[in-house]
Amino acid sequence: MTTDHQIFEHLLMKAIDQQLNAEERQRFEAHLVTCRTCQEEYQDFKAIKDRTDTLSQRIMQDAAGIPPRERPGARRLVTLATLSIVAGLLFLIAFAGYHLALDPQTPLLVKSAAALVTAGGLALASHAFYQRARAHRTDPYQEIDQ
Ligand SMILES: [Zn+2]
C-alpha cells in the first residue's frame, strides 16, 4: 500500500501536467480507482490547475487588450494613502528620535546611528519629492486633465 502511495505522489504532478507515458498512466489510474484519498487529492490539484490556467489565460487576454481606464479618484486615493503612511512614519520616527535623543541612557553610538538614518531618509525623501514634482510638471496627461 505504501508503495502505491509513493508511486502516486511521484506521478501526481506529472498527471496534472498531462505528462504521463502510457505505462505510468495505467499505474496511476489503477491506483486512483482503488484509493479514495488519492482520488480526492488528484481532484483538488486538478481543480487548482484548471483555475490557475483560466486565470493566466485571462491575464494574457487582459495584457493583449487595451488596459482598462483607471477609475477616477483611484490614483488620488493611492497618493493620499501613500502620503498618510509616509507622514505617519515620519511622525513615529520623529517621536522615537526625540525620546532617543533626550534619554541620557541612550549610548552615543545609537544616537549617531539614528542621526545617520534620519539624515539619509530625509535626503532620499526630498530627492523623491523633487523627482515627482518634476515629473508632475512634465506629465502630458496632467495637462489634459486640467
Ligand atoms: Zn492512494
Ordered by start, the domain boundaries in the chain are 2-64, 74-145
List pLDDT tens digits, range 37-66: 889 999 999 999 999 999 988 888 888 876
In total, the chain counts a number of residues equal to: 146
CB crowding 93-104: b at 16 or more within 10 Å, else e: beeeeeebeeee
- With beta carbons less than 8 A apart as the criterion, state whether 64 and 40 touch: no
Q: Mean of the pLDDT values across residues 83-94?
A: 90
List pLDDT tens digits, range 91-116: 998 888 888 888 888 888 888 888 89
CA 29 to the chain's CA centroid: 37
Q: Mean of the pLDDT values across residues 118-126?
A: 88
Q: Quick one: which of 15, 12, 14, 8 has its CA closest to 34?
A: 8
- With beta carbons less than 8 A apart as the criterion, state whether 32 and 39 touch: yes
Cα R_g (the chain), whole angstroms: 29
Taking the C-alpha atoms of residue 20 and residue 73, their distance in angstroms, rounded to an integer, is: 51
CA 1 to ligand 1 centroid distance, Å: 8
Q: By three-state DSSP, how is residue 34 classified?
A: helix
Helical packing angle, 22-34 and 2-16, nearest 10°: 120
pLDDT for 120 equals 92
Q: Is the pTM of this model over 0.85?
A: no
CA 10 to ligand 1 centroid distance, Å: 11
CA 36 to ligand 1 centroid distance, Å: 7
Taking the C-alpha atoms of residue 81 and residue 78, their distance in angstroms, rounded to an integer, is: 5
CA 129 to ligand 1 centroid distance, Å: 60
CA 98 to the chain's CA centroid: 34
Give the position of cell 505528462. 19
Helical packing angle, 36-64 and 2-16, nearest 10°: 20
CA 42 to ligand 1 centroid distance, Å: 10
Model confidence at 146, pLDDT cuts 50, 70, 90, reads very low
The amino acid sitting at 61 is Q
